[in-house]
Amino acid sequence: LRDEKSLIRKWQGYAQRRLPDAVDTAFGITVNNHTAAKQDGDSDRINFDRKRIQRDDLDDFFKNLKTFVEAENREYLIGPTFVMDEDAQGKDWDNVVILTAAPQGTAQNINGNMFAMVAESESLTLTGHLSDLRMSISPTEMPESMSNEAKAVLTHEMCHSFGLGDEYAKSPPKRFSKMTVAEAAEWPFARFESQASTLDRYSNLQAREDLLNDPTDDDSGIDALKIKWRYHRIQKCAVVSTINVNQNTVTLKLQGNQTAQFAVGNPVFLRKRQRKENVYLLVSSSDATPFLEHTIIHPETIPSRYLGRVKIKSIDTADDLVTITSDGKTDSLKVKLESGKSADLKVRQTVFIETQSTNPVHTIFRTDVNDFTRAVSPQLSVTNVDLTTQTLTLAIPAQETLIDYLQTLDAKEVMIVYVPVELPADQRSANYPYAELIAKPVLSHLQENPYPFNANKQHQEAIRDNATTLIPSQLVPCCSRREKEIIGLYSGGKKYHGDIYHPSAKCMMRHEFVDKKYTELCAVCRYTLVNMIDPTQFAAFDKDYMSRKIYP
Ligand SMILES: [Zn+2]
Ligand SMILES: [Zn+2]
């Protein structure tokens, strides 16, 4: 009888489970339920069947996800937090990671990685035939803990959800070192052909095209003053709840009792961390070479059923109109690309429509796709601090204006106000008063020697993937052995060797290991995470940054 009771309790327990009835998602995988044995891009992972991991199917699953609160006997929907819908977008929709003991599909979550494998790949037994594209995975025990390697990969992938891009380049072909420069330039990952603006979503990547002194002249060198990660070092920072601009006066209400740190006379800047805008890209499927990314200039809003995998139904090259059909559905949508950009596409080609989030450290904004300007306010000064109402009053100096979008704050936007770190007196000048993440001596050096620190002596942006740096020794602080971590300018990113730059020779977004040791994120990437997660911690970040002997 006792056994029967416990059995009944077990059954009752099963009845309390609140997993929705989604049978054809990753959660529906059972023994001998086949996964697609298609290789995932350039790696040797085996993907789940698309039907299990596509956003639409997972969103249906998330929409029904509930939690059960026993005391009040109520159910709460927790799904909306994780759903990527155009009208009810969850705040954490791109920060969900599903741990599996099966080889994962990567980048299924557009920005980050939705699936992470916690088991060792050797522990997996696959059966079936690659030829019929169906494989079975023998059931595996979920391990108690993850290996450090799996954790490193997971951290790297999660960082993609916070606006960090890959700082590495694809491994070159075997005979690469023997190729001539001309041959090497023909290699698909040597040249980045997409618009520079498609890198705006990353705080740690910038297109060479953005920086070239003369965009039509490859040998014109770069203008170091245009480097994106000239982010101000910050000593005080708060998040703004409301902003009111009246002529030369700005009134800010701040979140979370952050007002007391500011004082009358403080120089402050305003910047948005997140802007409300829709930017969509048409991206070629992951195994295409070269990889194409085109900005969609019309329509302004794209329904969520067209996000993710779509097929090209027809192309009007004269007007750069591309008609797409959503995956497995019959309705279609016409999107307009920039002039000339539809020429590389093919009818019936599978492509992806992605939403592009804005630069998480929003210091530049585009006046058009090829030109950008600083998106930070002019220097303002604090004229009043009111602790009872948590209000800060700021003055806009005469002859300065606040760009339009810094005068308003939409519900989907986040604005910060901060006091920057001053440069020491011997480095300070009227037009360069504040310290930036890239140290002034490094910036000055790059102005005089306008080439990345991993270019060779002939200034070729060569094209190797080990953590090398030719940073001159006078830029390395005394006794430091961490010169690879100094923020500067390096060639390589988003798998490309040429045409894309990243900040330092060593970063977890570049390699997870160097010399068999785990790498940390570089200062630009760490700054980005602080900015996204808790900007009130900038002072703590800065203290740590200065303690590392990597700031000349
Ligand atoms: Zn990555
Ligand atoms: Zn980095």
Highest-pLDDT range among 104-113, 349-358, 463-472? 349-358
H-helix or E-strand spanning residue 134: strand 134-137
Rounded distance from Cα 68 to ligand 1 centre (Å):
36
Rounded distance from Cα 23 to ligand 2 centre (Å):
39
Distances (CA, A) of 498 to 203, 363, 454, 520: 18, 24, 11, 24
Rounded distance from Cα 109 to ligand 1 centre (Å):
13
Q: Residue 115: what pLDDT?
A: 76
Give the number of whichever ligand sits closest to the CA of residue 165.
1
Give the number of whichever ligand sits closest to the CA of residue 152.
1
Q: Residue 484: what pLDDT?
A: 93
The pTM of this model reads: 0.84
Q: What is the mean pLDDT of residues 7-15?
A: 68
Q: What is the mean pLDDT of residues 96-119?
A: 66
- Asked if residue 121 lies in contact with residue 106, where contact means CB atoms within 8 angstroms, the answer is no
Rounded distance from Cα 507 to ligand 2 centre (Å):
5
Rounded distance from Cα 4 to ligand 1 centre (Å):
52
Q: What is the pLDDT of residues 273-329, one digit of tens each?
A: 877 777 888 888 655 666 678 889 899 888 877 887 888 999 999 999 999 998 666
Higher per-residue confidence, 12 vs 451: 451
Label residue 132 exposed, middle or buried (CB < 10 Å: 0-12, 13-18, 19+).
exposed
Joined tokens for residue 523 = 């200062």
Produce one character per residue of 173-205: b if its CB has 16 or more CB atoms within 10 Å, e if not.
Answer: eeebeebeeeebeebebbebebbbbbbbbbbbb
Q: Residue 30: what pLDDT?
A: 47
pLDDT above 50: residue 171: yes
pLDDT above 70: residue 104: no
Rounded distance from Cα 266 to ligand 1 centre (Å):
39
Give the number of whichever ligand sits closest to the CA of residue 157.
1
Rounded distance from Cα 467 to ligand 2 centre (Å):
13
Give the number of whichever ligand sits closest to the CA of residue 160.
1
pLDDT above 80: residue 452: yes
Rounded distance from Cα 17 to ligand 1 centre (Å):
35
Distances (CA, A) of 520 to 511, 524, 525, 539: 9, 11, 9, 19
Joined tokens for residue 435 = 């310290």
Rounded distance from Cα 141 to ligand 1 centre (Å):
27
pLDDT above 60: residue 169: yes
Rounded distance from Cα 513 to ligand 2 centre (Å):
13
Rounded distance from Cα 78 to ligand 1 centre (Å):
28
Q: Residue 4: what pLDDT?
A: 79
Higher per-residue confidence, 121 vs 416: 416
Mean pLDDT, all residues of the chain: 82
Rounded distance from Cα 58 to ligand 2 centre (Å):
30
Rounded distance from Cα 527 to ligand 2 centre (Å):
9
Which residue type, as a one-letter code, is found at position 463? I
Rounded distance from Cα 411 to ligand 1 centre (Å):
30
Q: What is the mean pLDDT of residues 399-415?
A: 90
pLDDT above 70: residue 465: no
Rounded distance from Cα 294 to ligand 1 centre (Å):
20
Rounded distance from Cα 536 to ligand 1 centre (Å):
27
Give the number of whichever ligand sits closest to the CA of residue 205.
2
Q: Residue 218: what pLDDT?
A: 80
Rounded distance from Cα 118 to ligand 2 centre (Å):
24
Rounded distance from Cα 468 to ligand 1 centre (Å):
20
pLDDT above 80: residue 394: yes
Q: Tell me the β-bridge partners of 109.
A: 112
User: If you search the block for the tokens 């789940």, which residue do you land on?
Assistant: 48
Rounded distance from Cα 96 to ligand 1 centre (Å):
16
Give the number of whichever ligand sits closest to the CA of residue 168.
1
Rounded distance from Cα 516 to ligand 1 centre (Å):
19
